[in-house]
């Protein structure tokens, strides 16, 4: 059994066949590729703040003992008018954390939410059987990327959303004191942050400690 403060899954990462995730070629965003920018950014920020994190792809094999587990995804729909985000969980004890996420994300996400567990894939998510949590485990669908407007909103904010997720999880477990990010629309600055996060992740994987300093993540 692997233990940490937080567990973060990047939905369909490393799947080469079958359920490889939602794609919007018109906007140029893919759940398989771009979701990992969000989760990797969150992981780098959290680890830099002293929070231990397990970061996994779609091929879950271990049992993970953590305070909070989040399984991150983009949604897709054959009807491109759909835009909404959603959450899913399999136990009422997970609802407070999922509701807290909806409250905070809803302050920045402009396209609303489906009802909780609006599909059986959410309430019966396969990843739940791999995690043991002291607080909650739930699926986060950041939005429906088959809609061009929603997809562009997410694509423009991948690194920012990673910072937002890190802030939420740090606040939820009361550890790390990660600052709440403010989106300034500066993609070059976001890319610089992503490079710093990648460098920090490399150092951490080599056994070096590092305190992350993010000029584009500021306290609101």
pLDDT tier for residue 216 given thresholds of 50, 70 and 90: very low
% of the chain beyond a pLDDT of 90: 67
Q: Indicate the range of 29-33, 183-187, 211-215 predicted with least confidence.
A: 211-215
Helix, strand, coil percentages in the chain from 3-state DSSP, rounded to 5: 40, 20, 40
Residue at 218 is within a domain: no
Cα separation, 126 vs 130, in Å, equals 8
Asked if the structure places residue 215 within a domain, the reply is: no
In a domain, 210, yes or no: no
Residue 97 lies in a domain: yes
Cα 15 to Cα 114: distance, rounded to the nearest angstrom = 26
If one counts the domains in the chain, the total is 1
pLDDT of 34-57, one tens digit each?
999 999 999 999 999 999 999 998
Residue 163 sits in a domain of what CATH number? 3.40.630.40
Determine, yes or no, domain membership for 119: yes
Confidence of residue 174 (pLDDT cuts 50, 70, 90): very high
User: Does 211 map to a domain?
Assistant: no
153 pLDDT higher than 60: yes
Residue 195: the pLDDT is 60
For residue 216, is it within any domain? no
Any alpha helices (H) in the chain, and if so which ranges?
A: 31-48, 95-105, 120-123, 148-155, 158-173, 187-205
Structural domain harbouring 197: 2-205
Name the region of 117 (left: φ>0; alpha: ψ -120 to 50; beta: rest). left
């Amino acid at each position: 059994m692997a233990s940490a403060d937080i567990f973060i899954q990047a939905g369909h990462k490393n799947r080469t066949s079958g359920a490889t995730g939602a794609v919007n070629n018109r906007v140029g965003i893919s759940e398989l590729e771009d979701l990992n920018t969000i989760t990797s950014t969150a992981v780098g920020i959290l680890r830099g703040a002293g929070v231990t994190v397990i970061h996994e792809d779609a091929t879950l094999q271990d049992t993970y003992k953590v305070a909070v587990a989040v399984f991150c995804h983009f949604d897709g729909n054959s009807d491109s008018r759909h835009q909404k985000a959603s959450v899913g969980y399999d136990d009422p004890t997970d609802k407070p954390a999922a509701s807290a996420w909806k409250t905070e994300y809803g302050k920045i996400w402009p396209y609303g939410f489906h009802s909780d567990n609006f599909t059986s894939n959410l309430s019966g998510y396969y990843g739940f059987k791999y995690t043991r949590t002291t607080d909650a485990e739930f699926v986060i669908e950041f939005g429906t990327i088959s809609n061009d407007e929603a997809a562009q909103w997410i694509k423009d904010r991948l690194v920012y959303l990673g910072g937002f997720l890190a802030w939420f999880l740090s606040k939820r477990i009361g550890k790390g004191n990660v600052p709440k990010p403010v989106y300034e629309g500066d993609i070059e600055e976001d890319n610089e942050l992503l490079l710093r996060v990648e460098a920090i992740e490399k150092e951490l994987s080599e056994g070096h400690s590092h305190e992350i300093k993010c000029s584009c993540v500021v306290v609101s």
